[in-house]
Structure 1
Amino acid sequence: MDWPASVALAQSVPALPTGTDWSYEVKLDGHRMIMWRTDDGVRLQARSGRDVTAAWGDLALAGHHLPAGTVLDGEAVITTENGRISFEAAQARAASSPTRAHRLATQRPAHYIAFDALQLPSGDARPRPYSERRAALLNLLAELPANTPIQAVSATTDRDTALTWYDTLHHQGVEGIVAKRTTSPYRAGRAGAWLKIRHADTIEATVAGFTGTARQPQALAVRLPDGRIALSQRLTTALATRIAPRLVPQPGRAHAQGGDTYTPVSGEIVVEVIAGTTRHAVVTVVRLR
């Protein structure tokens, strides 16, 4: 496999699919991460393709227990004192310098919840059906030390059990359920058979540009699912601080829905926006993915 790996994404649906060829996994509110165990060590990749090893040194260290040639897809999560998974804590770690990340790891160690195997020591696992990849993942992780922070995501083939998880585990940081067809290979993007239901009334949008400066963005121009580019409401200081390092401005100016101008950017930056505000092309950015 070539670095970076393109990740599979789930499509939002109003209800979980039915049938005997589906597996249902809990969707955790963390930081998407590809774990590469190479011959030389461990590298950690964000969904965007960035190398984030320095921010997640505790997970990189744990990854050395995996056999060389393993590439896993999963979620880095951090729990609070009451046991709830905290997206804010994961985002704070992801945005930290190596020194601060080390300090945060000492205070709140991370866990890596693996939900797919992209590559095994025997070779590329992506063309294999999900049911085989899941079995291989469980066998692989069963060989790790008992106290390792690398674990397999909870999954079931029983739809009623998945709905019970959805209804009862939200307060613990389970934001939804992902359904995967058991016969499907691993496909990058939304072309694969992954479907999701979520509690949060938000949708994902791609950042097309910004207003203000790249160091202090005031608002984002986001591309909505229907193709419109809309200007967001003013960013909070915390969000602007997290997003600014990701902005790579391009020459010229562009126009959003309604004629507002913004500075375009390159690269893929994904944010979550409140879905209920997109009808009239007014969006509120709530988090960076």
Structure 2
Amino acid sequence: MHLSPPVEPMLARSVTALPSPGARPVLFEQKADGFRVLVFTGPKPYLQSRRGADLGPAFPEIVRAAAALGVEAVVDAELVVLHDNRLDFTALQHRARFRGARAERAGREQPAHLITFDVLEVTGTVLMDQPLHQRRGELENLFASLALAAPWALCPQTADAATARTWLDPAWGAAGVEGLMIKDSGSRYRPGERGWLKLRTRTTAEAIIGAVTGAVHAPRSLLFGRLDPAGRLRLIGRSTPLSRPAATELGAVLRPAGPEHPWYGRRFPAGWGTTEPLVFHPVVPDLVAEIDADTAVDLGTFRHPVRYLRLRDDMTPGDV
């Protein structure tokens, strides 16, 4: 095998709409909600994360599948865990923390799968300079010739924009498909470059404004909550930076809250995957906002920042 870990994966930049038809054909793929991995198969199997870390100890069943493939190859894939007929990112995160006997047990109870969408090398031939449609053909041949089954899966792909639009239905988002990857059919694999496009499925929802960053009279962003079955306000997400008109509108109606606020004295992380505390100011949780969000939700919490759209004066916190 010519390639060896770590290999930088090719990346994508986010877009907000499907591109207009162009002179070059494009291919659309479902974007599964998981961990990006490069899988090195053969006698020296290796499971590489997007940032180059070795995920093999946490997912021993995947390492065994890579060793047993019977062909030396390097494939690009999304590592996922299925639970209750959907892709469960939270379960995947929990599994990534286990090692040894706990990892083996988790592999039996919640086995991981690989949704593969590209191949960089196979049987000693590096394919990165081949156009994407040829690499896809090699990947499909690999699946057909080896009759691959779980944990291996082939990512759905289409050249039909109408079919791709159906994959943006929120029902797919509820199943763990968070959007589309849009790729030039003739493009080569360029490690580290953002040569692909990513379009996330989005939906609107309602949430209670529970706190702000910045000053209450001039908020920079919002912290949103919803009431749980016991009536307690639970944090569900944070907004992107507010526009100046939105900050002016909200600054005129938001009111600072004191120790009676359920989030008073609480500590929330400043961002996903960090322990740095967020500086925020609780506000009286009596205003409901309409938000625009993607479908990446973990245990009721939006994993990515949401966008504030407008106040919902027709709704009360009890409606959320």
Do they superpose with TM above 0.5? yes
Q: CA deviation digits over 1:81-122, x for unaligned, max 9?
A: x21111111111112223222111111111111111011114
Evaluate the alpha carbon distance shift between residue 60 and residue 200 of structure 1 in structure 2; reply closer, same or farther with a 3 A threshold. Answer: farther
Is 2:190 the counterpart of 1:187? yes
Give matches, 1:71-90, under 5 Å: 71-80=74-83, 82-90=84-92
Q: CA deviation digits over 1:188-212, x for unaligned, max 9?
A: 22342x10111369xxxxxxxxxxx
- Alpha-carbon distance between aligned partners in 2 of 1:37 and 1:63, rounded to the nearest angstrom: 4
Where 2:268 maps in the other structure, the secondary structure is: coil
- Alpha-carbon distance between aligned partners in 2 of 1:120 and 1:181, rounded to the nearest angstrom: 22
Q: Which residue is 1:235 aligned to?
A: 269
Paired AA for residue 136 in structure 1 = E
Q: Which residue is 2:141 aligned to?
A: 139
Q: Which residue is 1:57 aligned to?
A: 60
Contact 1:18–1:159 at 8 Å: present in 2 too?
no
Where 1:113 maps in the other structure, the secondary structure is: strand
- Alpha-carbon distance between aligned partners in 2 of 1:106 and 1:122, rounded to the nearest angstrom: 33
Paired AA for residue 44 in structure 1 = L
Paired AA for residue 180 in structure 1 = K
Evaluate the alpha carbon distance shift between residue 109 and residue 36 of structure 1 in structure 2; reply closer, same or farther with a 3 A threshold. Answer: same
How far off its partner does 1:29 sit? 0.5
- Alpha-carbon distance between aligned partners in 1 of 2:154 and 2:20, rounded to the nearest angstrom: 23
Give matches, 1:17-96, under 5 Å: 17-19=19-21, 21-38=25-42, 40-80=43-83, 82-96=84-98
- Alpha-carbon distance between aligned partners in 2 of 1:148 and 1:234, rounded to the nearest angstrom: 39
TM-score normalized by the length of structure 2: 0.62
Q: Which residue is 2:262 aligned to?
A: none
Give matches, 1:144-223, under 5 Å: 144-145=146-147, 147-167=149-169, 168-192=171-195, 194-199=196-201
How far off its partner does 1:27 sit? 0.3
How far off its partner does 1:163 sit? 0.7
Where 1:26 maps in the other structure, the secondary structure is: strand
Evaluate the alpha carbon distance shift between residue 78 and residue 158 of structure 1 in structure 2; reply closer, same or farther with a 3 A threshold. Answer: same
Where 1:33 maps in the other structure, the secondary structure is: strand
Identity of aligned residues (%): 33
Evaluate the alpha carbon distance shift between residue 171 and residue 186 of structure 1 in structure 2; reply closer, same or farther with a 3 A threshold. Answer: same
Where 1:71 maps in the other structure, the secondary structure is: strand
- Alpha-carbon distance between aligned partners in 2 of 1:144 and 1:55, rounded to the nearest angstrom: 26
Contact 1:37–1:63 at 8 Å: present in 2 too?
yes
Q: CA deviation digits over 1:48-103, x for unaligned, max 9?
A: 101111111111111134344300010111111x2111111111111222322211
Paired AA for residue 21 in structure 1 = P
Q: Which residue is 2:209 aligned to?
A: none
Contact 1:118–1:124 at 8 Å: present in 2 too?
yes
- Alpha-carbon distance between aligned partners in 1 of 2:99 and 2:112, rounded to the nearest angstrom: 16
- Alpha-carbon distance between aligned partners in 2 of 1:185 and 1:95, rounded to the nearest angstrom: 34
The structure whose Rg is larger is 2
Give matches, 1:244-259, under 5 Å: none
Structure 2: stretches of 5+ with no match in the other structure? 204-239, 241-266, 277-302, 309-320
- Alpha-carbon distance between aligned partners in 2 of 1:118 and 1:188, rounded to the nearest angstrom: 10
Structural RMSD (CA): 2.8
- Alpha-carbon distance between aligned partners in 1 of 2:306 and 2:172, rounded to the nearest angstrom: 23
Paired AA for residue 155 in structure 1 = Q
Q: CA deviation digits over 1:195-239, x for unaligned, max 9?
A: 0111369xxxxxxxxxxxxxxxxxxxxxx9xxxxxxxx8329xx7
Paired AA for residue 174 in structure 2 = H
- Alpha-carbon distance between aligned partners in 2 of 1:48 and 1:122, rounded to the nearest angstrom: 24
